[in-house]
């Protein structure tokens, strides 16, 4: 005797054949997903194409990794933060390693009148401050330097961020790449030749990135005065100061913002 065969499963319908509300919620692993809230363009079309929703997501935790704090994050996030200021939002800094250098930030398009610096020194103070800001902050951006954050602490921040309208960036060392993280979007920035930045989107809702994106990120104070040939050439090997007033060694100058 043969066991009765189970009825055949109905064929899967393409997303286009589903009701619009359901089709909009369908995500295929081979496609770049869409974040639940609005996004803010990064300022580079090549990078936006690699980001879900074509920009930095609001209402979610985004991790930005780098080799040295206060060197690359301003050049990478500057265009989006400038857009936040244009829209009337605030840019809140939690645990910045050095005081904000207002002339440099102004050259990036970040209005100092929209800037708030929260002097939180210990890891517990920084986490607490971010949670309070997420509860009260409307549209805007929060940048938190969290080199020692644990996965469960980041998970708590992400849960709070989901009920907020602001951008939330956790700025962390590159060694954190091997650590577990609940952040749906994780990127690592590294200096390239000349004034370029290599941006590796190593975690996102979608397929793995084929190669890091190379963006031309000339510091705001130099873009208007550098001739074209120098915008794409290697910076001189001398020490200088980045956007937040931090001295940068010669081998990291491709990450310096004027």
- The string of pLDDT tens digits covering residues 183-216 is 999 999 999 887 889 999 999 988 888 899 999 8
In a domain, 230, yes or no: yes
Q: Give me the domain span that covers residue 204.
A: 40-255
- Whether the pLDDT of residue 251 is over 90: the answer is no
Could you tell me which residue, 7 or 184, shows the higher pLDDT? 184
In a domain, 141, yes or no: yes
Q: What does the angle CA 19 – CA 20 – CA 21 come to, to the nearest 5 degrees?
A: 95
**What digits encode the pLDDT tens for the residues 125-157?**
999 999 999 998 788 999 999 999 999 999 999
Per the CB < 8 A criterion, the answer to whether 168 and 134 are in contact is yes
pLDDT of residue 239: 39
pLDDT of residue 184: 94
Name which of 53-62, 183-192, 225-234 the model is least confident about.
225-234
Q: Tell me the C-alpha distance between 61 and 182, whole Å.
A: 8
pLDDT of residue 95: 94
Residue from 104, 78, 71 nearest 235 by CA: 71
- Whether the pLDDT of residue 225 is over 90: the answer is no
In a domain, 130, yes or no: yes
Q: Tell me the C-alpha distance between 91 and 89, whole Å.
A: 7
- Whether the pLDDT of residue 220 is over 50: the answer is yes
pLDDT of residue 26: 63
pLDDT of residue 69: 86
Q: Could you give the number of structural domains in the chain?
A: 1
Residue from 170, 187, 217, 176 nearest 76 by CA: 217
Mean pLDDT of the chain: 82
Residue from 208, 183, 185, 209 nearest 198 by CA: 209
Distances (CA, A) of 138 to 59, 81, 121, 213, 242: 11, 14, 24, 31, 29
Q: At 236, which CATH number?
A: 3.40.50.300
Question: DSSP string covering 126-150, please?
Answer: HHHHHHHHHHH--SEEEEEE-TT--
In a domain, 4, yes or no: no
Across 66-84, average pLDDT? 91
pTM here?
A: 0.77
Per the CB < 8 A criterion, the answer to whether 163 and 136 are in contact is no
Please report which confidence band the pLDDT of residue 6 belongs to, taking 50, 70 and 90 as the band edges.
low
pLDDT of residue 28: 59
212: which residues sit within 8 A by CB, 6+ positions away?
190, 198, 199, 200, 201
pLDDT of residue 194: 78
Count of alpha carbons within 13 angstroms of residue 200, beta-carbon side: 11
């Amino acid at each position: 005797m043969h066991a009765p065969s189970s009825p055949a499963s109905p064929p899967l319908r393409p997303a286009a054949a589903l009701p619009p509300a359901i089709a909009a919620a369908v995500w295929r692993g081979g496609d770049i997903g869409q974040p639940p809230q609005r996004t803010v363009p990064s300022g580079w079309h090549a990078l936006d194409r690699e980001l879900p929703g074509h920009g930095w997501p609001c209402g979610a935790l985004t991790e930005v990794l780098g080799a040295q704090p206060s060197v690359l994050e301003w050049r990478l996030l500057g265009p989006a933060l400038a857009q936040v200021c244009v829209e009337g939002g605030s840019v809140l800094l939690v645990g910045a390693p050095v005081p904000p250098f207002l002339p440099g930030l102004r050259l990036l398009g970040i209005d100092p009148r929209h800037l708030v610096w929260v002097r939180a020194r210990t890891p517990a103070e920084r986490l607490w401050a971010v949670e309070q800001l997420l509860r009260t902050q409307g549209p805007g951006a929060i940048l938190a330097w969290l080199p020692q954050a644990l996965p469960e602490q980041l998970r708590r921040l992400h849960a709070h961020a989901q009920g907020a309208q602001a951008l939330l960036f956790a700025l962390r060392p590159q060694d954190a790449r091997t650590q577990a993280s609940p952040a749906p979007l994780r990127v690592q920035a590294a200096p390239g030749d000349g004034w370029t930045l290599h941006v590796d989107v190593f975690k996102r809702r979608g397929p793995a990135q084929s190669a890091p994106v190379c963006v031309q990120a000339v510091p705001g104070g130099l873009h208007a005065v550098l001739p074209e040939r120098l915008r794409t050439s290697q910076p001189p090997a001398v020490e200088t100061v980045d956007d937040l007033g931090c001295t940068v060694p010669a081998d990291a100058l491709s990450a310096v913002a004027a």
